[in-house]
Amino acid sequence: MTQASAPAKIILFGEHAVVYGCPALAAPVSSLRAYADVVAQSNPGIVIHAPAFGQALPVGLDVDIVDNALALTVRLVLTATGKTTDALAIHLHSDIPIASGMGSGAAVSTAIARALCAHLGVSMTDQALNELVYEVEKLHHGNPSGIDNTVIVYEKPVYFVRGQIPAPLTPKTPIHLVIGDTGRAASTRDAVAGVRARYDADTVAVSHIFAEIRQIVTDARQLIETGTPAQLGVLMTRNHELLRALTVSSPELDHLVKAALAAGALGAKLSGGGRGGIMIALVTPETTSAVAQALRHSGAVKTIETEIT
């Protein structure tokens, strides 16, 4: 058996605007992972067992399924490596909430591709893997910026601009965050389409929002790299307000953001596609547990404490 895994991710600043060429900051959450196990089997064919992902089991590859992200990942790996194989089973399991802004789709594809390459005895560079997972992301998102696959494949904090080589993001001091999960799955594809509709309806107003987000990301990058978390919190909460104006927040997300701030967080915002999924709160080691508790009291189904270094 060969096993591989890949982490979840959070977007610190700049989601949605990143689709339109603005920069964004993102980081892996290495404590939450998707795992793929590849096992040789006696029956011919490739089957993917993915109970948690609501996939019909098993997913056969003998028919031309290219609208299935898991099957497409396998297909792309076989094409890229020039290998043919059958008689194997891929078992997936994951700690990452699905459709919640944490990059579950990209993490699963990355884990499958890595485990399959290991099983086939071939290596794939991170760059090639990143491109492959981006192809699969198009099924999930329609028009992805590429930030999810990049931060997940490289498993490093990044300053990301669509179409450019990502730059590393190096915090001067550790950034402490609490992630609050609304427990409400939401489609990133729909949220991205919603922003597109706003943009088409009022391009001038939405361009102003993007310009402010661009400035926030630039300032946040500098604060992170010089180590001034209190001011970073103000930028985070402002980024949330701008995401609300883009229509991608939800009552649950707004409620959790307010609860985090009231409990002493330095700042808070939704993270990822929005309309559900997760939010993040900037905390200090002293306020972490009070903020996590306040989030759970305010309806978060789960809280995760994480540190970006």
Contact residues for ligand PMV (CB under 6 A)?
A: 11, 15-16, 18-19, 101, 103, 141, 144-145, 147-148, 188, 192, 272-273
Q: If residue 176 lies in a helix (H) or strand (E), which one and from where to where?
A: strand 175-181
- Retrieve residue 146's tokens: 């590429």
Catalytic residue from among 95, 148, 181, 254: 148
Q: How far is the CB of 242 from ligand PMV (least distance, A)?
A: 13
Is 148 catalytic? The answer is yes
Q: Which amino acid is at 68?
A: N
Residue 198: left (phi > 0), alpha (psi -120 to 50), or beta?
alpha
Q: In the bound complex, what is the minimum distance in angstroms from residue 162's beta carbon to ligand PMV?
A: 8
Question: How far apart are alpha carbons 251 and 55 in whole angstroms?
Answer: 30
Which residues on neighbouring strands pair with residue 29, listed in sequence order? Answer: 8
CB 101 within 8 A of CB 11: yes
Q: Is 307 exposed, middle or buried (0-12, 13-18, 19+ CB in 10 A)?
A: middle
Task: Let me know: does 1 contact 192? Beta carbons within 8 Å.
Answer: no
Q: What is the DSSP letter of 178?
A: E
Q: Cα–Cα distance between 216 and 178 in angstroms, integer?
A: 20
User: Which is closer to ligand PMV, CB of 81 or CB of 149?
Assistant: 149
Cα first-last separation, the chain: 33
Coil vs helix vs strand at 63: coil
Whether the bond into 166 is cis, omega within 30 of 0: no
Residue whose CB is less far from ligand PMV, 30 or 293: 30
Contact 178, 280 (CB under 8 A): yes
Active site residues: 148
